[in-house]
C-alpha cells in the first residue's frame, strides 16, 4: 500500500476536525465532498450554509450537508475570539475594532477556532498566497513548545528505491524560513525528525547537510551547520543525527564510510536538513523533476497545531491528501 493510502486510513481512525476556509473555491468544495464521503476527517466550512449548499448542488456534490458550516457574521464565539485576538496581540496594539474586522476573514477565523480548540487543523492556499495563509497562523496559533520557527518538509518518494528508507526521504526546510540561524536550523532538524516519524512512518536518521564533510572545508556557513548539529543534539539527546555532511556522504554508504568513518548516519540518512531555504527548495524541485520522485508536501511543521498551505495550482486530490496529512499531524500533536 502506498504512503498516501496509509495516511488516509490512519486519518479515518482519528476523525479530526479540519477547517477548509476557502469554502467557495470549487476544488476545495469538491475535496470537502470527498473527505466527508470517505470519512477521512470531519470538515468545517466557512460561509453562509444556504449559499455553500447551493454551490455544492451546482457542482453535483452530495456529501456537503454533513459539513459543519460556520458563518463569521453570526458565529456564536465571535466575541470570545475577538477577546483572544486582542489579548494575544496586545503588545502589538491590536484594537477590538481591528480584531472585529480581521475575524470576518475566514483565514483568521480558522486560526482562532483552532486556538480555541474548536477545530484541530486547517488546509488553505488554493486561492490565497502563502504569506496570507501563514501570517494568521504565526500570529495566533504560534509555534509548539521549544520551537520558534515554522518550516516546511517534503516527503520524497524515489522511483527506484535504493536511498534513505527504502527510497523514501524527508527534506526540510523547503518552503518557509529563508535564512535560519544555527538555533533555528537545529529546531528545523528536530521538527523534521518528528514529521518523519509521524507522517512518513519511519525512525529518523538525520543528516545536517553542507558543502563540507567533517571539516573538509572551513567557512562560516559550515560552522553554522556544525553548531546547529550540536544544538539539535542538546534539544533531542535521543535523536540520531550527524553533521556536517555533504549530500553524497549522507546518502551513499560507500562515500559515507570513506568521508565520515564511524558515523551512524553517514551513508544511511533518511532525513536531509538543508542549510537554507534556497538549497532545500532547489534540491526538492530538482529531485522531483530530474529523478521523477513524488514530492508530498510541503508539510508545515513546528506550529502549535497543524496548518498547511496548498499551492495555488493544486488539484482536488492534492487538497484531499493534505487534509489527510493534517489530520494525522493533529492526531500526533
Ligand atoms: N516561523 C514562525 N513565525 C514566523 C516565521 C516562521 N518561519 N516567519 C515569520 N514569523 C512570524 C513573525 O515573527 C511575525 O510575528 P509577529 O507579527 O508576532 O511579530 C509574523 O510571523 C509576520 O512576520 P513577517 O516577517 O512580517 O512575515 P511575512 O508575513 O512577511 O512572511 C513568510 C512570512 C510569508 C512565510 C515569508 O517568510 C516567506 O515569504 N517565506 C518564503 C515562502 C516561500 O516563498 N517559499 C517558497 C515557495 S513554497 C514551495 O515552493 C513549496
Report the Cα 51 to chain-centroid distance in Å. Answer: 31
Residues 38 and 84 in one domain: yes
Residues 221 and 324 in one domain: no
Residues 122 and 179 in one domain: no
Residues 285 and 323 in one domain: no
Which residue from 131, 150, 175, 283 has its CB within 8 A of the most atoms of ligand 1, so it is best to mutate? Answer: 131
180 Cα–ligand 1 center, Å: 12
Please, are residues 159 and 197 in contact by the beta-carbon 8 Å criterion? no
Residues 156 and 291 in one domain: yes
Residues 237 and 272 in one domain: yes
Count of positions (residues) in the chain: 333
In this structure, the residue with its CA closest to atom 19 of ligand 1 is 139
Q: What is the CATH number of the domain that holds 61?
A: 3.40.50.10950
167 Cα–ligand 1 center, Å: 31
% pLDDT > 70, the chain: 100
**Which residue in the block uniquely carries the three cell numbers 466575541?**
79
Residues 315 and 290 in one domain: no
Per residue in 120-157, pLDDT (tens digit) is: 999 999 999 989 999 999 999 999 998 999 999 999 99
**pLDDT (0 to 100) of residue 161:** 81
277 Cα–ligand 1 center, Å: 12
The residue segments making up the domain with residue 198 are 151-296
Angle, in degrees to the nearest 10, between helices 26-37 and 316-332: 60
Residues 325 and 289 in one domain: no
Digit-by-digit pLDDT tens for the chain (333 residues) are 688 899 999 999 999 999 999 999 999 999 999 999 999 999 999 999 999 999 999 999 999 999 999 999 889 999 999 999 999 999 999 999 999 999 999 999 999 999 999 999 999 999 999 899 999 999 999 999 989 999 999 999 999 888 999 999 999 999 999 999 999 999 999 999 999 999 998 999 999 999 999 999 999 999 999 999 999 999 999 999 999 999 999 999 999 999 999 999 999 999 999 999 999 999 999 999 999 999 998 999 999 999 999 988 899 999 999 999 999 999 987
290, with CB counted inside 10 A (0-12, 13-18, 19+), is: exposed
Report the Cα 254 to chain-centroid distance in Å. Answer: 33
Residues 273 and 170 in one domain: yes
Site residues for ligand 1, CB cut-off 6 Å: 130-131, 134-135, 138-139, 143, 149-150, 175-178, 281, 298
Q: What is the CATH number of the domain that holds 286?
A: 3.40.50.10750
**pLDDT (0 to 100) of residue 34:** 98
**pLDDT (0 to 100) of residue 1:** 65
In this structure, the residue with its CA closest to atom 45 of ligand 1 is 175
**pLDDT (0 to 100) of residue 74:** 87
Residues 199 and 317 in one domain: no
Please, are residues 247 and 279 in contact by the beta-carbon 8 Å criterion? no
Residues 96 and 11 in one domain: yes
Residues 199 and 159 in one domain: yes
Query: How many independent structural domains does the chain possess?
Result: 2
**pLDDT (0 to 100) of residue 311:** 86
Amino acid at each position: 500500500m502506498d504512503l498516501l493510502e496509509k495516511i488516509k486510513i490512519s486519518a479515518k481512525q482519528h476523525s479530526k476536525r479540519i477547517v477548509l476556509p476557502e469554502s467557495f473555491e470549487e476544488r476545495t468544495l469538491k475535496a470537502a465532498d470527498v473527505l466527508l464521503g470517505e470519512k477521512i476527517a470531519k470538515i468545517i466550512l466557512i460561509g453562509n450554509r444556504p449559499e455553500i449548499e447551493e454551490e455544492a448542488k451546482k457542482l453535483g456534490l452530495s456529501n456537503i450537508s454533513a459539513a459543519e458550516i460556520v458563518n463569521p457574521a453570526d458565529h456564536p464565539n465571535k466575541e470570545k475570539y475577538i477577546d483572544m485576538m486582542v489579548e494575544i496581540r496586545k503588545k502589538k496594539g491590536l484594537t477590538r475594532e481591528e480584531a472585529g474586522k480581521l475575524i470576518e476573514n475566514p483565514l483568521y477565523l480558522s486560526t482562532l477556532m483552532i486556538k480555541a480548540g474548536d477545530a484541530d487543523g486547517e488546509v488553505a492556499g488554493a486561492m490565497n498566497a502563502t504569506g496570507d495563509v501563514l501570517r494568521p497562523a504565526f500570529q495566533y496559533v504560534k509555534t509548539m513548545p521549544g520551537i520558534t520557527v515554522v518550516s516546511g518538509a517534503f516527503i520524497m518518494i524515489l522511483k527506484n528505491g535504493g536511498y534513505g528508507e527504502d527510497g523514501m526521504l524527508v527534506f526540510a526546510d523547503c518552503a518557509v524560513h529563508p535564512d535560519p540561524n544555527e538555533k533555528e536550523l537545529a529546531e528545523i532538524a528536530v521538527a523534521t525528525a518528528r514529521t518523519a516519524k509521524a507522517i512518513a512512518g519511519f525512525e529518523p536518521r538525520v543528516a545536517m547537510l553542507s558543502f563540507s564533510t567533517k571539516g573538509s572545508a572551513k567557512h562560516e556557513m559550515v560552522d553554522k551547520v556544525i553548531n546547529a548539529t550540536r544544538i539539535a543534539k542538546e534539544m533531542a539527546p535521543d535523536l540520531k543525527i550527524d553533521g556536517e555532511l555533504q549530500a553524497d556522504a549522507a546518502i551513499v554508504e560507500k562515500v559515507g564510510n570513506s568521508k565520515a568513518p564511524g558515523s551512524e548516519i553517514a551513508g544511511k540518512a533518511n532525513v536531509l536538513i538543508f542549510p537554507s531555504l534556497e538549497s532545500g527548495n532547489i534540491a526538492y524541485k530538482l529531485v522531483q523533476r530530474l529523478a521523477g520522485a513524488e514530492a508530498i508536501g510541503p508539510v508545515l511543521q513546528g506550529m502549535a497545531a497543524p496548518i498547511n498551505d496548498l499551492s495555488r495550482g493544486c488539484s482536488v486530490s492534492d487538497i484531499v491528501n493534505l487534509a489527510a496529512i493534517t489530520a494525522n499531524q493533529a492526531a500526533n500533536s
